[in-house]
Amino acid sequence: MYFTGSKEHNIVMRQRAIQRGLRLNEYGLFKSNEETRDPKLLVACQTEEEVFDKLGLAYVPPELREDKGEFEAAEHHRIPRLVDWHDLRGALHNHSNWSDGQNTLEEIADYMDELGLDYWAITDHSKSSIVANGLDSARLRQQLKAIKEVNKKLADDGRHFRLLTGSEVDILADGTLDFPDDLLAELDVVVVSIHQGFTHSEAETTQRLIRAAQNPYVHIMGHLTGRLLLEREPYKVNQQAVIDACAEAGTWIELNCNPYRFDMDWRLWPYAKSKGVKCVINPDAHRNEHAGFLRLGAGIARKGWLTKADVINTLSRETLLKELAKKRNRQAV
């Protein structure tokens, strides 16, 4: 518990101990009014639960130990049951060798099925992402046919797993999208992202993202800030305004769990959740091994206080397909 931190959390824990005539340090919880490590004065140190309990708190999972509301929640036994990576049934933003990914559709289907997942969306880049070998409309339509064939073979073999069709569509400079609506309407999943024009002003980029979020055929706002940790700063954007727009449009926000991204940042999820925005934990896989990022993503979602109900890709495929359709019908009303 002591070494898990964070510092901010540990400071409050120590204060709570002192208020109760106790001392908490790396050796345990002691009945003492001064610093000690005398084992005869030990009150609790077998389990973390014991220590929290003696300090008047329900157990706080390590991910929430930030002094960001966990003490009040634990006092009132309102720590939520956080999402677990085993809850994830698939992912909705991934690439294949049709754009800049490494694996064929067949290899992806076999691998993800083997992992025990129910579905895996292929959302290759759109035509404006030239360096990423983005697909134009004709190639995307060919890919839809190819995915249909892979799925037919899976069905013929009596397997439950399916690929979903989709695209990671570039958001253009004015906030319009790289494909027309009638093509987007043919896809199971539409993710939208910015890949160019990182130097626009905050107001321009925010408007660009809001306009994309409002498109009725869009399901998911991809890697919201474009940051690459230790490599590239996020572009300037009013994230709260984009979250508000997504809340209004019913657009989901991605937790891109490539460890260089972790975008949207964990600190913003409680706000998004309060606005009713759903999260999709997406590995943005460019090779099959990237499926392992899902576990990291669940960890980051836990830091954002998210439960299974807050995360779209905990749904079974049947329910997910209904939700994907509902998103579009909602807009048509």
The reply to whether omega before 13 is within 30° of 0 (cis) is: no
- Which DSSP category does 277 fall into? P
Beta strands in the chain, from DSSP E residues, in sequence order: 22-25, 28-31, 42-44, 90-91, 119-125, 162-170, 189-193, 220-221, 252-256, 279-282
| Per CB under 5 A, 254 contacts Zn ion | no
Chain centroid offset of residue 18 CA: 38
| Per CB under 5 A, 113 contacts Zn ion | no
Contact region for Zn ion (CB under 5 A) — 31-39, 97-105, 190-198, 320-328? 190-198
Q: Which of 10, 103, 143, 193 binds Zn ion (CB under 5 A)?
A: 193
Output 25 or 176, the one with its CB closest to Zn ion.
176
| Per CB under 5 A, 284 contacts Zn ion | yes
**In whole angstroms, how close is the CB of 96 to Zn ion at the nearest point?**
11
Q: Which of 70, 113, 168, 310 binds Zn ion (CB under 5 A)?
A: 168
Output 168 or 310, the one with its CB closest to Zn ion.
168
Contact region for Zn ion (CB under 5 A) — 3-11, 26-34, 168-176, 268-276? 168-176
Output 195 or 302, the one with its CB closest to Zn ion.
195
Contact region for Zn ion (CB under 5 A) — 63-71, 75-83, 202-210, 276-284? 276-284
**In whole angstroms, how close is the CB of 98 to Zn ion at the nearest point?**
12
**In whole angstroms, how close is the CB of 317 to Zn ion at the nearest point?**
21
Count residues near Zn ion (CB under 5 A).
Answer: 3
Output 168 or 188, the one with its CB closest to Zn ion.
168
Helix or strand or coil: residue 290? helix
Q: Half-sphere exposure of residue 21, counting CA atoms within 13 Å on the CB side? A: 2
**In whole angstroms, how close is the CB of 205 to Zn ion at the nearest point?**
15
Alpha-carbon distance of 206 to 211, in angstroms, equals 9
Beta strand 22-25 with 28-31 is: antiparallel
**In whole angstroms, how close is the CB of 262 to Zn ion at the nearest point?**
14
Sites of contact with Zn ion (CB under 5 A): 168, 193, 284
